[in-house]
Structure 1
Amino acid sequence: MEQHLWKHVQSIKSKTPLVHSMTNYVVMNNTANALLATGASPIMAHAKSEVGDMVALANATVINIGTLDEYWCEAMLLAAETAHTLDKPWVLDPVGAGATSFRDDILQELLRFKPTVIKGNASEIMALAQVNQETTKGADSTAKSNEAMDAAINIATKYGSLVCISGATDIITDGSQKIQIANGIPLMTKVTGMGCTASALVGAFIGTVENKTEAVATAMALLGIAGELAAKQSEGPGTLQLHLLDKLYNLSEKEFYGHIKISES
């Protein structure tokens, strides 16, 4: 798999996929800039009157429930249903799963439309599988990615989705195959919405790359490597954001393969 990943990075730049990102207020600017730096084209549309058309138009849709309200819930369900009906790839980012019953209820409704990819931290994935719901702390995880492995397998098997558990080591599974990516640094957790940025990049890659497992692996490795390299020029989380965008834009093949830490089982 590893030898194909740089080709996928280049395919984003050549194909400029349109990513319909129904994401939260906190991260819209961050994720839009990350998509642009990577080579994709972002659009953020939440109006019920147009989300169906946007899903049909876009190469992929990302639904991130970070800042929910009743109107957005209706729009997100309409987008998910349209994506499922049209067989268009879409990503579910279950931000804060397990924190409130309102949040959990909308997630269960969204899952009916079988996301192509579900990407969340360990606590969120465990909450989605309705196990150990004491591990959610807002949008942060209090569990390690490997602790959510059984939950991820259950979700992948039940919904036919790829599940990506983000953490110090990212884990991607379809219920049988397991890929681990150990790129990234702790400083990245001090920049708000870094996980949301990862989900947006996953959207770009699944909208372009036929092999969805490779697509998710490429997105997660790319962000982690860019973060590692950006940190070498950064004095803290503020400058990390700036250098991360630059590195997503100008990362070289040599840098990519010189830093990637990926394993399969």
Structure 2
Amino acid sequence: MTASPTLDLALRLNRVRANSPLILNITNHVSMNVMANVLLAIGASPAMAHAKQEVAEFAAMAGALTINIGTLSPRWVDAMEIAARAALGAQTPWVLDPVAVGATSYRQEVGAQLLRLSPSVIRGNASEILSLAKLSDQASSLHQQHSRGHGVDSTTTSHSAQEAAILLARYSGAVVAVTGESDLVTDGQKIARIDGGHALMPKVTALGCSLTGVVGAWIAQADTESTDDIFLATTAALASYAVAGELAGRIAQGPGSFSVAFLDTLYALDSNTLTQHARLEITDAR
């Protein structure tokens, strides 16, 4: 597959590097350090905050907000909702990462609550997207035909979640990104398919969560009034991550060396390398 001529990957990478957008991340305990380092490596400015007394102010000043439900608690859920509402009020784009949303009734409840707060992008693995789609009243017809996710690792492929992703995008108004061995992004009208990455990526804790922050950095530079531009920005973010993963995997000996190589590759990623190695296509949704 080749890069779509309608998507200027280099331009979007350079925008992030030039502007260093502030990204507020309400994320889980496991991923904070890794996610912050990934965002710094690609040129963004991470803020890791979750106190409900300050998240509204942060969300209003940030270029984007990301919310990850990996390690839930009632106080954190309150902060998530406050931040999402503040982001909407300030027209700050925000990304929902519904980690293991199908695993427990509490996660399903929180996932449904956050879905109603109009995320700009929903990024998850196939099982998470399938589970979140079931929580949408309008997409409830999916509940008989798809599997339930039990944890943070996907039990299904991004291809099998394609129908759910398209419907979820149409009903929620969000761009939906399904990540796995290959990735797909849809706004309900178009689908981008991205190849790349490396088999070692799932072996390093929090690289998936960190991708959510990278999506936040890319959409911080997008036209927030244009779903099409959010779609293209999300696609560019995933393509950049996939290229970095593929190149890092060529020199890594295992998960430990891959973690270091991945950060270094993200930091060194330039527009020429990105456009040369990116493998993606954009087609109409069927």
Q: TM-score, normalised by structure 2?
A: 0.90
Determine if the alignment matches structure 1 residue 248 to structure 2 residue 266. Answer: yes
Q: Which residue of 2 aligns with 1:122?
A: 126
> What do residues 121-153 of structure 1 show as CA deviations (whole Å, max 9, x unaligned)?
000000001135643131010001011111111
Q: Which amino acid aligns with 2:180?
A: G
> What do residues 39-65 of structure 1 show as CA deviations (whole Å, max 9, x unaligned)?
000001100100000000100000001
The correspondence of residues 1-265 of structure 1 with structure 2, limited to 5 A, is: 1-2=4-5, 4-130=8-134, 131=143, 134-210=147-223, 211-265=229-283
Give the Cα separation in 2 of the matches to 1:75 and 1:257.
Answer: 38
Give the Cα separation in 2 of the matches to 1:209 and 1:84.
Answer: 15
Contact 2:184 2:194 survives alignment (8 Å):
yes
For these two proteins, the number of residue pairs brought into alignment is 265
Unpaired segments ≥5 residues, structure 1:
none
RMSD over aligned CA atoms reads 1.2
Give the Cα separation in 2 of the matches to 1:30 and 1:89.
Answer: 22
Q: Which moved more, 1:135-144 or 1:111-120?
A: 135-144
Q: Which amino acid aligns with 1:239?
A: S
Q: Secondary structure at the match of 2:117?
A: coil
State the percentage of identical aligned residues: 42
Q: Which moved more, 1:249-258 or 1:21-30?
A: 249-258
Contact 2:182 2:195 survives alignment (8 Å):
yes
Unpaired segments ≥5 residues, structure 2:
135-142, 224-228
Contact 2:247 2:265 survives alignment (8 Å):
yes
Q: Which amino acid aligns with 2:34?
A: N
Contact 2:84 2:117 survives alignment (8 Å):
yes
Q: Which amino acid aligns with 2:244?
A: A
Give the Cα separation in 1 of the matches to 2:14 and 2:247.
Answer: 19
Greater share of helix: 1
Q: Secondary structure at the match of 1:135?
A: coil
Q: Secondary structure at the match of 1:48?
A: coil
Q: Which residue of 1 aligns with 2:139?
A: none
